[in-house]
Structure 1
Amino acid sequence: MTKLLVKQNCLFWLLRPLSWVYGLITDVRNWLFDKELFAGYAPDTFSVSVGNLTVGGTGKTPMTEYLIKRQVLTVDTGSPETATLSRGYGRQTKGFREAGPADTAATIGDEPLQLYRKFGPRVRVFVGERRAPAIQRIQASYPAIRRILLDDAYQHRAVRPHLNVLLMDYNRPFYTDHPFPAGRLRERRHGARRADCVVVTKCPIDLPESDTQPIREAVSRYTRTGTPVFFAGLHYGRPVSFATGQPADYLREVVLVSGLASADPLEQYVRQTYSLKAHIRYADHRVYTRSDIDSFRRALTPGVALLTTEKDWVKLDALLTPGERDALSLYYLPVELVFLGDDGRAFNRFVTDASLKFR
């Protein structure tokens, strides 16, 4: 065993008692909500919660985008019938707010801004720390809204959604993890019992069916009987130019910039697809500055392009002058969630059935 593994193992056991305490606190909190000693608000509008048991990096935004596309691109016409609501992590504002043309990552957060720039005005995008009052305001202001997608709301027990979609990273299954701080869980594993379905994200696109059964069995030890488990991966599109908004025909050498909770799958894809000169990693929800732009410019030697994520693009683009945007080779990499095999059709039927039961 290497010194690093010994150090990690010692640290785990040192932190384990704190994990027990943290897990106990979350157990008590969940019990109070389960017994309705703490009130939970049931919206009058069909609501879907997208969340996880772990801290960050399970693909909540691609899942939310999938649900948006499922409705907006096939059903919704005229006035928006779909709304998204999130806390707006990292924003410098407080309270309830609807996204508009003048908003930035500083006013609504990077992920809500990404959704607004991609889907507005066909979808209404809202942020608000207190979800229950926020939902009530949405319902009162926009009676035409027929569904509300709640981003990262699995632990937000003050709202009782009609459908709880629990995400699990294929590379970091919750059933082998532990509560914070010894592990990455926000609550104990049995919190999965609140899930109406589990979507295993970031799977290899060519994952054999035979490899999914052991995962289903492991997940089922913590979920309610009959809770379906679906499998999905990530599909990266062609890089899109900051300057033109058009896909690039060809990129070869790139410097990757990312501010993600889990950037390893992205780096692996970029290494396989392009000549990766460097990967500049930041913590999730990085607040970029002009000094970051200056350091990126120095890294872009002739023939090398900067490649980043959509979430990072909406923040970096706001810092650029028109001249810089036109002169520099800057691109973002679109990503979308894709279900494996027939799981897409099965998941769509599951969501449709849930919405019909609500009606």
Structure 2
Amino acid sequence: MILLRKLLFPFAILYGFVTSVRNYLYDKGILKSYSFDIPVIAVGNLSVGGTGKTPQIEYLIRLLSPNYKVATLSRGYKRKSEGFILADANANAAMLGDEPFQYYRKFPQIQVAVDADRRNGITQLLAQKDKPEVILLDDAFQHRKVKAGFYILLTAYDELFCDDYLLPTGNLRESRNGAKRANMIIVTKCPPNIPDLAQENIKKKIGLDMPIFFSFVDYDDKVYNQSSSLEVAKVKLQEKLLLAGIAKPKPFFDYLQSDNDVVMTFADHHHFTESDILNIKSQAIDTIIVTTEKDFVRLEAAIFGAQLYYLPIKSKLIKHSDTFDQIILNYVGTCTRNG
């Protein structure tokens, strides 16, 4: 696979040329970007998947929703619907996509919308009688048709964008220079005890004059289903089926797995078929199933009751969380007053 990617390097050059021309046209105003008179925060990355956008969006929801009417807008990756949809009591994961449905289930105080056309999605949200005061754009760093007021770029600790290459040789969606559009960078999925020197070395490697923060994935000490919870310490000791359909499931498995567990891995955002469900149930006779929160919203209708559990996660900043929060709150507060 690595050899094949190296052989495809000429296509990476071509891909880089195309994306650079597109960005140049937007930068010069030849292709029009649309801005809006309310705070719009875009969270995204330069690489393909697995940088922790969902927990970072949830961090911003927790920070902002006590004082502002917050809406999230996603494209609704792999959803079985089209156009603009605002989540309501009839929503499900197939309609919205797993991540937006997760937001809707966890945060009933916010509005959750999906639309591949972010400009249209924002316009639709602002046309409501009860319109939001802040909009969080999920995975919209390359969506240049909308000009957000604030960009948060995520890059994973073990796959820094500055060490990567363009598709198909590497995993970058656009040139590393795209990072200059960000207002801040968060290095995600760090070891919780990453030394200060290692943080400084990464900042030097990135080489950009902007705030750079470091975060880690904080796993809950319980797993949950619709009606109960179990202590992770006890779950680790019992036989179980661990199941994940996310981009990089290894940390999830490492956190929970014991020697006799059955482990099942599916592609990111996998749509579970009837055959998949039958296979999962046959592998989990008389045992519990523990999955990710994102997979749980797609599986709970088919595997319900006391058998299926999920493990929540949160994004936590290693240092300077007060500074991070204040930067976001200052942007939102200033933009709201100006608006």
SS across alignment from 2:127: helix
| Residues 91 and 106 in structure 1, CA contact (< 8 A), matched pair in contact too | yes
Q: Which residue of 1 aligns with 2:221?
A: 238
Counterpart amino acid of 2:27? D
Q: Which residue of 2 aligns with 1:98?
A: 86
Structure 1 stretches lacking a partner, 5+ long = 1-6
Q: Give the whole-Å Cα distance in 2 for the aligned partners of 1:58 and 1:183.
A: 15
Q: CA deviation at 1:142?
A: 4.1
| Residues 39 and 331 in structure 2, CA contact (< 8 A), matched pair in contact too | no
Q: TM-score, normalised by structure 2?
A: 0.94
Q: Which residue of 2 aligns with 1:198?
A: 185
Q: Which residue of 1 aligns with 2:253?
A: 267
Q: Which residue of 2 aligns with 1:319?
A: 302
SS across alignment from 1:240: strand
Given candidates 120, 125, 138, the residue that maps to 1:138 is 125
Q: Which residue of 1 aligns with 2:309?
A: 331
Q: Which residue of 2 aligns with 1:216?
A: 203
1:165 aligns with 2:152: yes
Q: CA deviation at 1:349?
A: 1.1
Q: Which residue of 1 aligns with 2:325?
A: 348
Q: Which residue of 1 aligns with 2:278?
A: 294
Count of aligned pairs: 332
CA, structure 1 residues 234+29, in 2 after alignment: closer, same or farther (shift >3 Å)? same
5 Å-filtered alignment, 1:276-295, equals 277-295=261-279
| Residues 48 and 165 in structure 1, CA contact (< 8 A), matched pair in contact too | yes
Q: Give the whole-Å Cα distance in 2 for the aligned partners of 1:123 and 1:332.
A: 22
| Residues 45 and 154 in structure 2, CA contact (< 8 A), matched pair in contact too | yes
Q: Which residue of 2 aligns with 1:46?
A: 39
The C-alpha deviation readout for 1:307-353, integer Å capped at 9, x for no partner, is 10011000001224xxxx23x52210000101102x21111011122
Q: Give the whole-Å Cα distance in 2 for the aligned partners of 1:67 and 1:131.
A: 19
The C-alpha deviation readout for 1:199-244, integer Å capped at 9, x for no partner, is 0110111111111011011112xx4x3x110000011113434341
The C-alpha deviation readout for 1:118-163, integer Å capped at 9, x for no partner, is 112x000000011112101111214541100000000000000010
The C-alpha deviation readout for 1:287-315, integer Å capped at 9, x for no partner, is 0122222211221244x321100110000
Counterpart amino acid of 1:332? Y
CA, structure 1 residues 165+276, in 2 after alignment: closer, same or farther (shift >3 Å)? farther
The C-alpha deviation readout for 1:159-213, integer Å capped at 9, x for no partner, is 0001000000111111111111111000011110001000011011111111101
Counterpart amino acid of 2:308? L
SS across alignment from 1:141: coil
Q: CA deviation at 1:34?
A: 0.3
Q: Which residue of 2 aligns with 1:129?
A: 116
SS across alignment from 2:301: helix
Counterpart amino acid of 1:130? D
| Residues 164 and 194 in structure 1, CA contact (< 8 A), matched pair in contact too | yes
Counterpart amino acid of 2:93? A
- Percent of aligned pairs with the same amino acid: 37
Q: TM-score, normalised by structure 1?
A: 0.89
1:152 aligns with 2:139: yes
Given candidates 76, 90, 95, the residue that maps to 1:88 is 76
SS across alignment from 2:229: coil
